[in-house]
Amino acid sequence: MSRRRLQGVSVAVLVAVTASLVAVSSARTVGAAIDVKKVIASCKSPDAKAGAAKVATSKYKKSKPWVLGVSAGYMSKTSWIAYFNQELKYEASRNKQYSKVVVLDAGFNASKQISDIQDLITQKVSGIIYWPVNQSALKGVLAKAEAAGIPTVESAIGFTKMGTSSVDIDYYAHSVVADAYLMKELGGKGNIVQVLPTAGSLAAVQEKAALKCVLKHFPNVKLLDAQYGNFNAADSKPVAEAWAQRFPQIDGVVSAWAEQSRGVAQAFDEAGRLDELKFAPANELNGWMKFLVSHPKANAGIVTSPPALGAMAVKQMTKILEGQTVVKGVFIGNRYVPPAKVKSLVDSSKPDTYWPNKMPPSFQP
Amino acid sequence: MTASTAVAETARAETALKWRLLALGQRWGIWIVLLALVIAARALSPIFLNTPNLLNILAQASVVGIAAVGVTFVMVTGGMDVSIAGVITLSAFLAAGVMNGQDGNIVLAVVLTVAAGVAVGLVNGLLIAFFRVDSFILTLAMGSVLLGGAQIYTGGTAFGDPAPGYTTALTARPWTIPVLALAFAAVVLVGLALQNVTRFGRRLYMVGANPRAAYLSGIGVRRTIVLAYVCSGVAAALAGLALVGRAGVPSDFTGMGLEFQVLAAVVLGGTTFEGGRGGVGGTVAGVLVLAVAFTLVTILGLPYAVQLLVRGGIIVVAGALYVLVRRREG
């Protein structure tokens, strides 16, 4: 065999081997069973370590009865926050150590929230649970609260490491679970789009990062576009209408929040393309679950983000006021419910804005 | 014909053409701007002129458009109505709350919602016409009162349950045309009829141009102003009904910021704050200019921050072009 021919054969063999290796690594997720737990385990939440740190709270121990202050950054964004607030009040009402709950609503006004917290400090409340309009704006006033011996528990906004402690949904972990199960439903291939919540929010930042990590395991999944849905259908619908025009083939929608997902579903239904889509597991809004049950092709299950977070925030505050050592961040939710089990969570007698809960009728929003 | 006569004839013809073009510009200026914008959009995005996309734009524009028709009447009289966001929000909650997920409640919900719009318009109109309260201050305060009322009614949360039949009807597309686009068209036709065919329409302009002269001419100035605000209230209520149909369960975010979009559309369309000029036709073009700007940035898939910049830029350029095309007399 001539030297030139030998070189040609060597190159051909090398190319063939390389191509085979590439095909094998692709087949790792395409066609092969997708190990969702492995994907989830590989995308660790950036908040897990910081959340595990211990916080000594003996300096906040107070004699009973306690007065609980609540500084709400907003009360009217979604139905979820209303249920969260009611869960908080319900838990406080059940705990006889609390004589009173003072709730101040800043109505999306960051300056007002600073004034609200200052008012609560002046009123000498025992502890403050808050969810911020703008977390960095509260840094100074939260420091004043702690200097005055008033512990603060942050909730419902994601773990910002501010305040004495935090009880929250881990948005990163929540999204990793949702995205991983969507990939499983898609068989590890296809085109996806992503609906993020409010631009600039912690949730949006973490959801973007979570999807980026999950997609590393699925080279045959292509992210076509990511836009903001602001947690509501009115904003996500026009975005989805544009997608329906731009992209001839979309297989999956990444959206962790049911109200946004509804807007996308409506848009694609009107475009006659709803049957193409699988929706990433969103949270357990009654109306969304009704939709999933009636549209099995779109159903990839749900991932919970229970409003009972409000009750957990009160329990965490109770531990602090008792002087117990607590962790910096308590994370709840993120429980995956497979498609077949979604039906068991639906309450068809309740409105679409209902969130499953165990509160008595007097506390239902 | 002598040479000087020929030159004079040519000059006269040129002047006549110039005035005809100016008149065209004043009448159709915003439509020319809209056409230019659509051509630019098509150049940037090949799918922009697809029929489904154009129909989506009409459906998306319907909420702002329906409300803008009512606000046009108010602004032609020289007044202003910034309470529309409050009316739209309260209407959406009221409609969803009364329907409560039952198709049998649809008619009652629609009647009550429109009645609420009439009531708000009546209160606004009476206070402005008879007590001479400044329209901007009063309607700003009214908007705040209505948002507070909505919070009390709903407990401060996403509230109510639109009837399935209602949302199915409003999201339907008979002959591929969205029902909301048809509703928008119907409101525009009614608005144009009121403006051009009725005495009320003519009185709007007289009151806006010179209220004192209108009064001395025997025109019921106060009645005209009250009716204009009632029209605005009804239109905002209809916009709230449209919003519930389009987006489902309302929240306090529902109407947020819509008053600025509506005012921008009306002013872009040639109805000025001074009153006495403009009209529904121009408002429709203004609404469509905004809708094209909003849709184009989404269709192009621009990053969010760039979307905000580009949207604002399109509106500034459209407004500037319109002024150039219009060229006010004197």
Question: Would you state the pLDDT for residue A11?
Answer: 62
Count of residues in chain A:
365
In contact, A82 and B160? CB cutoff 8 Å:
no
Task: Determine whether B34 is exposed, middle or buried from the number of CB atoms within 10 Å of its CB (0-12, 13-18, 19+).
Answer: buried
The structure tokens listed for B196 are: 């051009």
Averaged over B184-206, what is the pLDDT? 96
Query: How near does any CA of chain A get to the CA of B161, in Å?
Result: 6
Q: Any idea what DSSP says for residue B84? A: H
CB of A353 less than 8 A from some CB of B: yes
Q: Between residues A330 and A135, which one has the greater pLDDT? A: A330
What is the structure's pLDDT at A30? 44
Q: What is the pLDDT of residue A327?
A: 93
Query: CB-based contact (8 Å) between B44 and chain A?
Result: no
Half-sphere exposure of A18 (CA within 13 A, CB side): 6
Q: Which residue type, as a one-letter code, is found at position A79?
A: S
CA angle B159, B162, B166 (to 5 degrees): 165
Count the Cβ atoms, other than its own, within 10 Å of residue A58.
10
For residue B26, is pLDDT > 70?
no
A244 CB within 8 Å of a chain B CB: yes
Across the interface, of A75, A238, A244, the residue whose CB is closest to B60 is A238
- Contact between A202 and A171 (Cβ < 8 Å): yes
Tell me the mean pLDDT in the region A235-243: 93
Residue A282 carries which DSSP code?
B
Distances (CA, A) of A321 to A91, A98, A123, A329: 15, 11, 17, 16
Cα–Cα distance measured from residue A188 to residue A217, given in angstroms and rounded to the nearest whole number: 9
Q: ipTM of this model?
A: 0.79
Cβ count near B123 (within 10 Å) = 18
State how far residue B178 is from chain A, nearest Cα, in angstroms: 9
**B254 chain-A contacts, CB cut-off 8 A:** 234
Place of tokens 């028709």: B69
Span A197-213, mean pLDDT? 91
Token match 């001479």: residue?
B132
The per-residue pLDDT for B23 is 67
- How many Å is the Cα radius of gyration of chain A? 24
R_g (Cα) of chain B, nearest Å: 22
Does the pLDDT of residue B28 top 60, yes or no? Answer: yes
Cβ contacts of B294 on chain A, cutoff 8 Å: 238
Query: Cβ of A351 and B101 within 8 Å?
Result: yes
* pLDDT confidence band for B151 (50 / 70 / 90): confident
Provide the β-strand partners of residue A129.
Answer: A70, A153
Question: What integer pLDDT is reported at residue B321 of this predicted model?
Answer: 74
- Number of other CB atoms surrounding residue B272 within 10 Å: 14
**Interface contact A191, partner B, CB < 8 A:** no
Lowest mean pLDDT among A2-16, A52-66, A93-107, A214-228: A2-16
Least confident of B104-108, B187-191, B297-301: B297-301
Chain A positions touching B299 (Cβ under 8 A) are 242, 245-246
Q: CA-CA distance, B29 to B34, in Å (whole number)?
A: 9
User: What is the 8-class DSSP label of residue A127?
Assistant: E
Ranges of beta strands (E only) in A230-363 are 252-254, 278-279, 302-303, 326-327, 329-331, 336-337
Distance CA A275, CA B110 (A): 32
- Residues with Cβ within 8 Å of B116's Cβ and at least 6 positions away in sequence, in order, are B87, B90, B91, B94, B237
Quick check: B298 and A78 CB within 8 A?
no
Contact A255, A268 (CB under 8 A): no
Residues 6 or more apart whose Cβ sits within 8 Å of residue A221: A183, A186, A188, A189, A190, A191, A192, A215, A252
Residue B99 phi/psi, 5-degree rounding, is -65, -45
pLDDT of residue B296 exceeding 60: yes
